[in-house]
Amino acid sequence: MDMIKAFGVFLLSLLFGLLSLLVSRHVLCDDIIESIGKTAFKKWKPKNPFKWFLLTDFFAHIKRWRYIVFLLEMSFCLFANVIITFIVATGGNQALRNALSFSIIISSFSKFILLAIPWGKYRN
């Protein structure tokens, strides 16, 4: 029963993590649209879903620090997902809870940086 509960928590936290990362990806898409234009970006149809999500064809059009923060947020979001699953499956100990807190703080800070810096563009 604990493994079923852990699997459910894993899927739910993965869903929320992906939704959160899609918001951050939208900020990167705005950089690309400013650089190459909306119509050129809409014509881009990659066959690989990883290329679509990570925007690997547009490294030159994304500000480097934003992409690094996006990758940092993505890695800590996935790390927090795995730790939450371990805590639910094993009952957890203080080290796992501290690692979870650290990863959530880092990914929240990354999200804040990505969304707060270009905030004037979205406030209209």
Token pair in block for residue 58: 């547009």
Closest CA to 106 of 114, 47, 122: 114
User: What are the DSSP E strand ranges found in the chain?
Assistant: none
**84-111 pLDDT per residue, tens:** 888 888 887 888 888 988 998 988 888 8
pLDDT recorded at residue 114: 83
Q: What is the predicted pLDDT for the residue at 70?
A: 92
How many angstroms separate the first and last alpha carbons of the chain? 50
Residues 40, 44: Cα–Cα separation, whole Å: 7
| Amino acid type, 103 | S
DSSP 47: S
Instruction: Write out pLDDT tens, residues 59-90.
Output: 899 988 889 999 999 999 999 999 988 888 88
Residue 71: the pLDDT is: 93
